[in-house]
Amino acid sequence: MKDQLLTVALAQISPVWLDKTATINKIEKAIKEAASKKSELVVFGETLLPGYPFWISLTDGAQFNSTVQKEIHAHYAQNAIVIENGDLDSICDLAEKNNIAIYLGIIERPLDRGGHSLYASLVYIDQKGEIRSVHRKLQPTYEERLTWSPGDGNGLLVHSLKAFTVGGLNCWENWMPLPRAALYGQGENLHISVWPGSDYNTKDITRFIARESRSYVIAVSGLMRKEDFPPNTPYLDEILENTPEVLGNGGSCIAGPDGEWVLEPVLYKEGLLIETLDFNRVLQERQNFDPVGHYSRPDVTQLHINRERQSTVRFAKE
Catalytic amino acids?
Answer: 46, 137, 171
Q: b/e map of 161-195 (b: 16 or more CB within 10 Å)? A: bbbbbbbbbbbbbbeeeebbbbbbbeebbbbbbbb
Phi, psi of 88 (to 5 degrees): -105, 10
Nearest of 144, 164, 95, 146 to residue 123 by alpha carbon: 95
> Regarding beta strands 164-170 and 246-255, do their DSSP bridges make them parallel or antiparallel, or are they unpaired?
unpaired
Asked if residue 179 has a cis previous peptide bond (ω within 30° of 0), the answer is no
3-state secondary structure of 6: strand
Residue 113 CA to residue 152 CA, distance in Å, equals 12
- The Cα–Cα gap between 149 and 291 comes to 31
